[in-house]
Amino acid sequence: MQQINAVLFDFDGTLMDTNDVILMSWQHTFRTLANREEKEDVLTATFGEPLETTMDRFFPHIPLEESIEIYRQFQRDNFNGLITLFPGMKELIIALKERGYKIGLVTSRLKQTSMEGLEKYGLTKYFDAIVTPEDTTKHKPDPEPVHIALRKLGARPDQAVMLGDTLFDIMCAKNAGVRSVLVAWSLALAGKTKADLGKDAPDYIIHKPEELFAILGEAE
């Protein structure tokens, strides 16, 4: 096995607990445009999908710019106060940095709120590469976002591992030739095992952030 020297993180649902703000943004959008709320499992099934794709499917008769603005305005107004960092993630990132790993963020979230979240918890300085939708022409599960991050980091696919919480993250990593890690605190894939996911299963599943070090071949 090629030694890993780069670790890529997804933002929503992996590094940062944004579940509440995402669900609330969707329900606000449904109340505004359809005068109703949507079932939570329908919404969580979309986690990781580009917003434009989901919005076009939910509200095909509403101009895309209008529906997206309703969603994003709610997030802009509420994002900072509703997000939290998953326990142990800051400690993991600091430890990785201290051990010389290159650290990247690969997210479908726009740069503004991604940076807002990182800055809230003092994480910006630990990331050597940040890839948001503004940097790509294709999005997860296409490998382009990971390929861009690897180029920025100066790492090869066989030297990297990616942590994520959705099938979009897992498939993006797989399509890029990067080893994939599903975080068990995922809301989108809560309780799923490798057997449950079949051909889409990640290479690894971790239940606590520090379990990543066993994957990296280090004693923790």
Catalytic residues: 10
Read off the tokens for 197: 């996911």
**Nearest CA to 143 among 131, 134, 129?**
131
Return all residues near 101 (Cβ < 8 A) that are at least 6 apart: 4, 5, 6, 7, 216
CA distances from 11 to 1, 80, 83, 104, 217 (A): 27, 14, 11, 10, 24
Asked if 88 and 210 touch (Cβ cutoff 8 Å), the reply is: yes
* H or E segment to which residue 31 belongs: helix 19-34
**Nearest CA to 106 among 133, 138, 72, 76?**
133
CA distances from 52 to 13, 46, 62, 66, 179 (A): 19, 11, 12, 11, 27
Handedness of CA 62, 63, 64, 69 (dihedral sign): negative
